Amino acid sequence: MAAPLSGTTYYRKRTRLVGSLGVTRRKSAALLRIVLIVMASIAIFLLLLFAQPSRPAVTGGVTQNLLDTSWTFRNRSDNRKLTPITGKAVVPGDIYADLQALKAIGEPLYADNDVRLRWVARENWTYSTEFDVNERILKVAMTIWHKPSQLIVFKGLDTIAQVLLNGQEILSTNNQFVQYTADVTGKLKKAGNTLEIHFESPISYGDRAAREYKNEYGYSIPPDCTIEMFHGECHANYVRKIQAQFSWDWGPAFPTVGIFDAITLHGNDGLHLERVHVDTTFNDDDTVSIRVHADVRSTMPGNVHWDVSIPEMNKLYNARTVLNSGKGLHTMSAQFMLNKKQFELWWPNGMGAQRMYEMRVRLTREDKKAFVEKTVRFGLREVELIQDYIDETNKTIGREFYFKINGQPVFLKGTNWIPVSPFPARNNSERMEFLLESSRIAGMNAMRVWGGGRYENDEFYAMADRKGILLWHDMMFACSLYPTDPAFLESVSTEIEQNVKRLKNHPSVLVWAGNNENELGIAGGWWGAMGYDEKQRIADYRILYKGLIGKIVTEIDPTRPYLLSSPSNGVETDRVGGVSDNPGSERYGDIHFYNEVKNLWKDSSYQTPRCATEYGLQSIPSGMTMSKYLPQSEYYYLSGNFTHRQHHPGGVETLITMIFAHFPLPPFCSGVRSNNSYSVAAHEAKQCFAKNPPSLYSLIFLAESGFLDRFAYFTQFHQALTYKTETEHYLRFRGRLTDDGLGHTMCALYWQLNDVWAAPTWSSIDWDLRWKPAHYEARRFFAPQMVIVYLDDNAMLEAFAINDRPETASMTVLPMILYLNVRKLIDQRIRRLKNGPVQVFAFNNAFEPIYKVEKKMDLPPYSSTPVDVSSLNKWKSSKNDLSLESLVFTGELLNLTQQRVGYQSTVVPDRLWKVDMKRTGDVTVQSFKKVNDLEYKVVIEATAVAPLVWIEVQVDNLQAYFDDNAFTMTSRTRELTLTLTKKYDRDLTADDLYACALKSCYV
């Protein structure tokens, strides 16, 4: 009442001042007082009507977690043969987990359950709960200044859903990658609210969407279905969910449904802060522009005051934004500047620290009756993608393709990430942490988030930030063409906008790519579809990836490059309109390389690109993993259940062919070989082959359970040595060109890091989180300093020294000095390599090298430098009695105190089947000691030079790795460290270890 009284007093005073003007003025003043009194009374009435005395003057809103309630699930089947199913649901989760908990199904990943359980994904399912509303949400009252709102935010619905609140539809969804918000103002009760989510089968939805699209446009969008040996489902490209859940060549089909992320109820005073996202632009004047964006839902227009603080920098910034429109989602922005001296940069793994900062944003209405706030983490680093011509005078040579971080060129060393699990809604935090930490430990600084998976949860990106793993990030489109009708484009538009805004704060995100291999598919003519010609395919491709996705990404996130596809020719693809004739050119952009015909242990088998973002080879998981998912009666290579898991076309045959081109057959088949082929005499056929004439596919032992573990060992080392050969090929072409202008290679990302089940795949870590030999090999070939040794096609040794360390002032005064094999001096001021031999060992010469050469060299920073080994080759050529099958070549770096730096590089014979196994060594565990709950020391002993040593801890559910493994042992003893990532339920003993070498592993 103070304001009306103050106003009345004011006019009384004024009346006295003008009283001499007469009665008329006094009557007018009296009338005015009456009007003011009436208005004051109305104001008081309104205040009493809408005021809420218990409500605080300022509120940030109230949030209620709706996953804390009790949820149930049930099926809604038209199939009368199917018994109705209902049970208690665990959320977040998925239908397979709930059915398994109910004991309605068994382990989905066992045997061929991916097919036997196909009915699950073809059912419609309903998840429901009942909840009471937090009183504080209901007490957020309406005033003449504010229009409160109640919102339900669904962070993860998978996928096609109708949502009902108290029997009334509030939302329908069709995109797993979109966060949905429903305004439920006025629709809530104090108690007994029901929330039902009706999920439609993604299989049924995809089938219906494909039919409707064809009816509307006269053609189908290819591919209609996966190939038969994938055992998958059709029309994944019409459904915006994880594409690999319809099956892939490395995984099964489990098209999940369910609630995979939070559902929250929000009550607020008409101001709801949905997200905060930050742009950091590095300027030429040693400043950084920080542009902060806030996505706000508001019920009323008005002025909004910003308070932005960065506590670790002792910075506080204020701004004001005018919110011109009312109801809906609005993006507001504010900008401020930082000097580079005020902060530390974020660096990739191996280049510096991963410094992160916390930013707190508070938005307050001008009347200070409502505020919202949110805290985000961000890092400061600059990304550049260099695509200059190699030679401006001869542009046909091609363009560079490499990234700079904070002005420093970075060689991307890493792998590819597929979804952490076929059931990503489950708690996979521990699995995710192990996989990313395993990448960091292996010296990786990059990882490609593959486009057939998902935009991962926030935890994944926070881990990548902490570990310095740069993320080449595909959008979630892979190996297909996609619709471009208005409804599909609208859904994709929301998907891209939300996810780019959500992820752009993370310094680990390096580059966006529109899709995986879709341009390659168009250029290569992968798919046929009646009435859908190439011209229309290219036009639709441009609409989706350039006109829509590209535009959204570059507008929302101007701080990172965007590529239309992977692989692509980069700016050359843009120059020709979006689809190149040869998207896999070695002269531009990135390539994907696969070949199973050539000898993959030969350096000359590989292309020499600017950047390789996919390359790989299959291997079989160890018996400790594989045996848990196959019936014992089918634990052999050619069993129905094993070959069911081989989704790679021709994979059963090509693995056999590739493996036995290098590895020995069982001893009873020793007389079968003739040079590099297989031939048998009549009396030998019965021993080795199931039928005559013999073939690799009819080898008897491949149908015996006793041989599968040894064959898996062969495939794993075959994969490891292939990854070593190809990756080292790319590493040594850093800063170097062939005569025809190929090279300047600056990235090597092998396919793939992880698995989603136990099967033949390209992974370096299997489904049970066991490192394969390939991951140990990656730890060696991704070391920051190393020597590469290999034999060329003429059996001449070649060697290169790799230095991936940054330049320092001391390096220019006292440069690195290298001897071949290579010793290294490191003190406080300089980095030098000295007295390093390349050594040649003979299997029958104990552990003494039969030849050693040393070379002193300067190693520039960030370089690949050839090493002169001509004397070794001259010596080798003079020894006509030496067979390559009797030699092992090594290279290593040693410091001035004769200590090795990094790892030994080794070349074993290409045709191991020609090696006299009797002369090779075997290994045993000499001692095994516990240091603490997370560390053990192991000493192994060899009888002679032992190729392909493998040490396995034969216990289940152990997350651990050795500091080195899967190597050729060239010394009599060696001490290793076993590190556990979490405490095991008992102490390990020497009996838990299995140690072997080529002659003895799983024999």
Shortest CA distance to 363 belongs to which of 325, 328, 318, 324?
A: 318
Strand partners, 379: none
Which contacts (CB < 8 Å, 24+ apart) does range 112-117 have? 112/231, 112/640, 112/641, 112/644, 114/231, 114/247, 114/252, 114/253, 114/254, 115/231, 115/644, 117/254
pLDDT (0 to 100) of residue 879: 75
Report which of 398, 403, 422 is spatially closest to residue 347, judged by C-alpha positions: 403
Shared domain for 606 and 629, answered yes or no, is no
Residues 573 and 696 in one domain: no
**Within a domain: residue 575?**
yes
Q: Rounded distance, CA 318 to CA 310, Å? A: 12
Say how far apart CA 507 and CA 345 lie, in whole Å.
Answer: 10
In a domain, 281, yes or no: yes
| SS3 state of residue 843 | coil
pLDDT tens profile 251-308: 999 999 999 999 999 998 778 899 999 999 999 999 999 999 999 988 777 788 899 9
Same domain, 138 and 278: no
Note whether 381 and 345 are within 8 A (CB): yes
| Distance of alpha carbon 460 from alpha carbon 702, whole angstroms | 40
What CA–CA distance (Å, rounded) separates 936 from 960?
11
401 and 506, same domain (yes or no): yes
Question: Quick one: 789 exposed, middle or buried, by C-beta within 10 A (0-12, 13-18, 19+)?
Answer: buried
> Range with the lowest mean pLDDT among 202-216, 592-606, 673-687?
673-687
- Res 850: pLDDT: 78
**Per-residue tokens: 943:** 């009888």
Instruction: Say which residues have a Cβ less than 8 Å from residue 389's Cβ, sequence separation at least 6.
Output: 395, 397, 398, 399, 400
CATH number for 186: 2.60.120.260
Among the ranges given (12-16, 319-323, 444-448, 963-967), the one the predictor scored with the smallest mean pLDDT: 12-16
Confidence of residue 454 (pLDDT cuts 50, 70, 90): very high
| Cβ atoms 313, 258 nearer than 8 A | no
- Mean pLDDT, to the nearest integer, of 119-129? 97
Same domain, yes or no: 115 and 9: no
Angle between the 429-441 and 458-467 helix axes, to the nearest 10 degrees? 20
**β-pair partners for 403:** 385, 410
Using alpha carbons, select from 164, 232, 174 the residue that is nearest to residue 202. Answer: 174
Among 200-204, 327-331, 385-389, 572-576, where is mean pLDDT lowest?
A: 327-331
Closest CA to 887 of 978, 810, 990, 970: 970
Q: What is the mean pLDDT of residues 884-906?
A: 79
CA dihedral 146, 147, 152, 154 (to 10 degrees): -70
Strands 62-65 and 263-268: antiparallel
pLDDT score for 46: 44
In this structure, the answer to whether residues 833 and 909 fall within a common structural domain is: yes
> What is the per-residue pLDDT for 997?
98
Last residue of a domain, one of 881, 915, 949: 915
Helix (H, G, I), strand (E, B) or coil at 319: strand
Helix (H) or strand (E) holding 497: helix 486-503
pLDDT higher than threshold 70 for residue 59: no
- Report the C-alpha gap between 524 and 539 in whole angstroms: 16
Q: Which of 15-29, 136-150, 668-682, 877-891 has the highest mean pLDDT?
A: 877-891
CA atoms of 903 and 907, how far apart (whole Å): 13
Q: Which of 116-120, 283-287, 702-706, 832-836 has the lowest mean pLDDT?
A: 832-836
Cβ-proximal residues to 459 (8 Å cutoff; 6+ apart), any chain: 429, 432
Domain shared by 723 and 871, yes or no: yes
Do 549 and 692 fall within a single domain? no
Mean pLDDT of 530-537: 92
**Structural domain includes residue 906:** yes
Distance CA 851, CA 821 (A): 12
Q: What is the DSSP letter of 958?
A: -
- Average pLDDT on 414-418 reads 99
Residue 244 domain-assigned? no
The model's confidence at residue 39, banded by pLDDT at 50, 70 and 90, is: low
The pLDDT of residue 25: 41
pLDDT digits (tens, 9 = 90+) for 461-508: 999 999 999 999 999 999 999 999 999 999 999 999 999 999 999 999
Binning pLDDT at 50, 70 and 90, where does residue 326 land?
low
Q: Which domain holds residue 28?
A: 2-50
For residue 518, give the CATH number of its domain.
3.20.20.80
CB atoms within 10 A of CB 213: 18
Confidence of residue 56 (pLDDT cuts 50, 70, 90): very low
Beta strands in 463-502 (DSSP E): 470-474
| pLDDT band for position 325 (cuts 50, 70, 90) | low
CATH of the domain at 902: 2.60.40.10
DSSP run (H or E) holding 460:
helix 458-467
For tokens 């991307």, what's the residue?
A: 412
pTM for this structure?
Answer: 0.90
Please state the domain count of the chain: 6
Q: What is the pLDDT of residue 852?
A: 78
Residue 471's closest CA among 419, 509, 415, 444?
A: 509
Are 83 and 35 part of one and the same domain?
no
Give pLDDT, residue 645. 98
Q: Which residues, 6+ apart, have CB-to-CB distance to 270 below 8 Å? A: 146, 147, 148, 149, 298, 299, 300, 370
Q: Measure the CA–CA gap between 263 and 261, rounded to whole angstroms.
A: 7
> 327 versus 877: which is more confidently predicted?
877
List the one residue out of 694, 405, 385, 706 whose CA is nearest residue 563.
Answer: 385
Q: Which two tokens stand for residue 119?
A: 């009915």
Q: What is the pLDDT of residues 263-274, one digit of tens each?
A: 999 998 778 899
Summarised one tens digit per residue, pLDDT across range 908-932 is: 999 999 998 988 999 999 999 999 9
Same domain as 737, residue 861: yes
298, 365 contact by CB (below 8 A): no
At 11 the pLDDT is 28
Sign of CA dihedral 580, 584, 586, 590: positive
Is the pLDDT at 143 greater than 50, yes or no?
no
Does 241 fall in a domain?
no
- pLDDT at residue 140 in the model: 67
Residue 223 lies in a domain: no
- Pick the residue with more confidence: 986 or 867? 986
44-58, 145-159, 905-919: segment of lowest average pLDDT: 44-58
Catalytic residues: 517
Instruction: For residues 386 and 621, give the distance between their C-alpha atoms in angstroms, rounded to a whole number.
Output: 39
Instruction: For 351-364, give the DSSP string.
Output: TS-B--EEEEEEEE
Final residue belonging to a domain, choices 263, 281, 306? 263
Beta bridge partners of 182: 152
Task: Indicate the pLDDT class of residue 709, thresholds 50, 70 and 90.
Answer: very high
Give the model confidence (pLDDT) of 77-100 as tens digits: 766 677 899 999 999 999 999 999
Q: Is residue 222 part of a domain?
A: no
Task: Lowest mean pLDDT of 133-142, 608-617, 618-627, name the range.
Answer: 133-142
Half-sphere exposure of 943 (CA within 13 A, CB side): 14
Please state the separation of Cα 503 from the chain's center in Å. 13
Length of the chain equals 1003
- 438 and 507 share a domain? yes
pLDDT at 818: 20
Amino acid letter, 563: L
Looking at per-residue confidence, does 734 or 665 come out higher? 734
Using 50, 70 and 90 to split pLDDT, how confident is the model at 24? Answer: very low
For residues 856 and 124, the model is more confident at 124
CA distance 477 to 513: 10
For every residue of 719-735, DSSP letters joined together read HHHHHHHHHHHHHHTTT
Q: Helix count (H) and strand count (E) of the chain? A: 22, 52
Radius of gyration over every alpha carbon of the chain, rounded to an integer in angstroms: 33
> Which residue among 888, 915, 942 closes a domain?
915
For residues 680 and 688, give the distance between their C-alpha atoms in angstroms, rounded to a whole number.
Answer: 9
Round to whole Å and give the CA distance between 598 and 616.
13
246 phi-psi bin (left φ>0, alpha ψ -120 to 50, beta other): alpha
Let me know if residue 220 belongs to a domain: no
Q: Which two tokens stand for residue 177?
A: 């990658």
Signed CA dihedral, 85, 86, 91, 97: sign only: negative
pLDDT tens for residues 799-853? 898 989 885 322 121 112 222 222 232 232 223 333 345 777 777 667 878 777 7
Q: Is the distance from CB of 329 to CB of 296 less than 8 angstroms?
A: yes
Q: Which residues are 72's β-sheet partners?
A: 88, 128
Mean pLDDT of the chain, nearest integer? 87
Amino acid at 298: S
Distance CA 689, CA 703 (A): 10
Task: Mark whether 491 and 595 lie in a shared domain.
Answer: yes
- pLDDT at position 995 is 99
Task: Tell which residue, 951, 955, 954, 953, has the closest CA to residue 964.
Answer: 951
pLDDT band of residue 659 (cuts 50, 70, 90) is: very high
Mean pLDDT of 723-748: 98
